[in-house]
Amino acid sequence: MTGRPPGRGRGAAPGDEVYEPAEDSRLLLAAALEEVTPEDRVLEIGCGSGIISRALLPRARRVVATDVNPAALGSLRGTGVDAVRADLFSGIRQRFDLILFNPPYLPTGEEEVLEGWLNFAFDGGETGRETICRFLEGLKDHLEPAGGRALLLLSSLCGPGEVEAKARAEGLAVEVVLRERYFFEELLVMRLNPAESFGE
């Protein structure tokens, strides 16, 4: 736990401005490698160090990576990944075949907010679901209606049942494709796609 925000177990060392890849990054990457096809146009929201986007680049038609943290985008310069500074989907007009997000999911009170950009890697608001819910509200409009799907990393700390209910309310079909238990939480990867493509 040394060097991480107390009780959080997510990747950060003192002085870091960008999220250091951790168990959650690796779980989402494993699910993404199973999911991606060479025809896919991929969008990764919240790319951080770029570990996931860089690994997918040789396996996809195109990879666009965004982050709200300007320090995160530098690591992708010259890699072939199209890096864009954006708050979730703002300014993004295209649709994608595969969208990925390892979001800030920790329930965070006012007294727990970190100084600087790194806070965006952790702070999920009071419930842990603030950014996740905004993501779900914009997701369907950015997925290809036929064949589009998303992989969303979640923790038991942010109420996956509530996230699933919100996703269904947004017209998305939901399934859990990967889960892993750790000492203090369970991580899971939720696969989402427009419900009508399942005939629901």
Ligand X SMILES: C[S@@+](CC[C@H](N)C(=O)[O-])C[C@H]1O[C@@H](n2cnc3c(N)ncnc32)[C@H](O)[C@@H]1O
Binding site for ligand X (CB under 6 A): 19, 21, 25, 28, 45-49, 51-52, 66-69, 72, 87-88, 102, 104, 120-121, 131
Report, in Å, the least distance between residue 191 CB and ligand X: 17
CB of 94 to ligand X, least distance (A): 16
51 CB contacts (<8 Å, ≥6 apart)? Answer: 21, 25, 29
Q: Closer CB to ligand X, residue 45 or residue 143?
A: 45
**Taking Cα atoms as reference points, which of 44, 138, 129, 47 lies closest to residue 89?**
138
Dihedral sign computed on CA atoms, order 123, 170, 98, 186:
positive
Question: Dihedral of the CA atoms 101, 83, 148, 200 (nearest 10)?
Answer: 40
Concatenating the DSSP letter of every residue in 63-77 gives EEEEES-HHHHGGGT
Residue placing its CB nearer to ligand X in the complex, 62 or 134: 134
Nearer Cβ to ligand X (151/173): 151
Least Cβ distance, residue 45 to ligand X (angstroms)? 5
Task: State the nearest-atom distance from the C-beta of 86 to ligand X, in Å.
Answer: 6
